């Protein structure tokens, strides 16, 4: 569902899910191609005269943001496939990230959750610097904690910030 929505939004054609996966994993080099396809096939959305002005840059930025969001979601899904959804035991509501919850978490998620507790508010990149694990891995774990309701996620431009919302919970 997610893939098909994204597909119509970005490429506007009927490729298989596998090809989107390929495009998304290599999103940065693939961007100009996507844009060209969109320009040619969806002339209504992007004016050809504007193609060399500011608007294309905005569109490209938007596409990049969408691709990054999709990437985040795919990393979560890949992680969930690996772990067989065993980690998700809580409903998708705001759940307090207290010490007893930290204790009950699987080791890999606990490490990420504890680091975000210490940092307060951080990107996947910043967390990965602390845990010495890959950014993509931390991104997957952070998104998983968001789905589980322990963390909140907020985008500022191209950066996604994660935090435990201690003040509003409860």
Partner 1 sequence: MGKIIAVHSYKGGTGKTLMSVNLATTFAKQGKKVVLFDLDFRAPSLFSILNMPKAECWLNDYLNGTCDINQVLVDMSDKIPGNGKFLVGLASPATEAIRDMSAKDRKWEMRALGRLLSLRNSILNEKGFDYIIFDTSPGLQYSSINAIVTADFVIVATTGDRSDVDGTRRMLRELYNLFEKKTGLVINKVLDGSSLSKRQEMTKKVREIYQVPLLGLVPCFCDILRAEGGLIFCTDKPDHPFTKILGEMTQKIERNEVS
| Interacting residue with partner 1 among 10, 76, 160, 164 (CB under 8 A) | 164
Of the pair 20, 150, the CB lying nearest partner 1 is at 150
Minimum CB distance to partner 1, residue 37 (Å)? 47
| Interacting residue with partner 1 among 107, 132, 156, 158 (CB under 8 A) | 107
Minimum CB distance to partner 1, residue 138 (Å)? 16
| Interacting residue with partner 1 among 44, 52, 156, 167 (CB under 8 A) | 167
Rg over CA atoms, the chain: 18
| Interacting residue with partner 1 among 111, 127, 141, 144 (CB under 8 A) | 111
Residue 11 burial (CB count, 10 A):
20
Residue pointed to by tokens 């210490």: 118
Task: Reduce the DSSP state of residue 50 to 3 states and report it.
Answer: helix
Contact 79, 140 (CB under 8 A): yes
Of the pair 46, 114, the CB lying nearest partner 1 is at 114
Q: Where are the alpha helices (DSSP H) in 11-149?
A: 17-25, 27-41, 55-83, 99-104, 107-119, 124-131, 135-147
| Interacting residue with partner 1 among 13, 17, 61, 98 (CB under 8 A) | 98
Cα first-last separation, the chain: 33
Site string for partner 1, 117-156 (x = CB under 8 A): xx-x------------------------------------
Q: What number of chain residues touch partner 1 (CB under 8 A)?
A: 20
**Contact residues for 108 (Cβ-Cβ < 8 A; gap 6+):** 141
């Amino acid at each position: 569902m997610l893939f098909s929505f994204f597909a119509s939004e970005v490429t506007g054609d009927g490729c298989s899910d596998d090809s989107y996966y390929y495009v998304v994993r290599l999103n940065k080099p693939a961007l100009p191609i996507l844009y060209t396809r969109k320009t040619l096939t969806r002339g209504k959305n992007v004016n050809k005269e504007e193609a060399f002005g500011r608007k294309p840059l905005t569109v490209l930025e938007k596409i990049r943001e969408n691709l990054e969001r999709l990437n985040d979601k795919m990393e979560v899904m890949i992680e969930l496939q690996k772990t067989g959804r065993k980690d998700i035991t809580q409903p998708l509501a705001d759940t307090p990230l207290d010490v007893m919850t930290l204790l009950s978490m699987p080791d890999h998620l606990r490490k990420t959750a504890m680091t975000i507790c210490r940092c307060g508010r951080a990107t996947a990149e910043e967390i990965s610097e602390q845990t010495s694990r890959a950014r993509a891995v931390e991104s997957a774990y952070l998104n998983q904690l968001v789905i589980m309701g322990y963390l909140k996620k907020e985008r500022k431009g191209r950066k996604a910030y994660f935090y435990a919302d201690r003040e509003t919970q409860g």
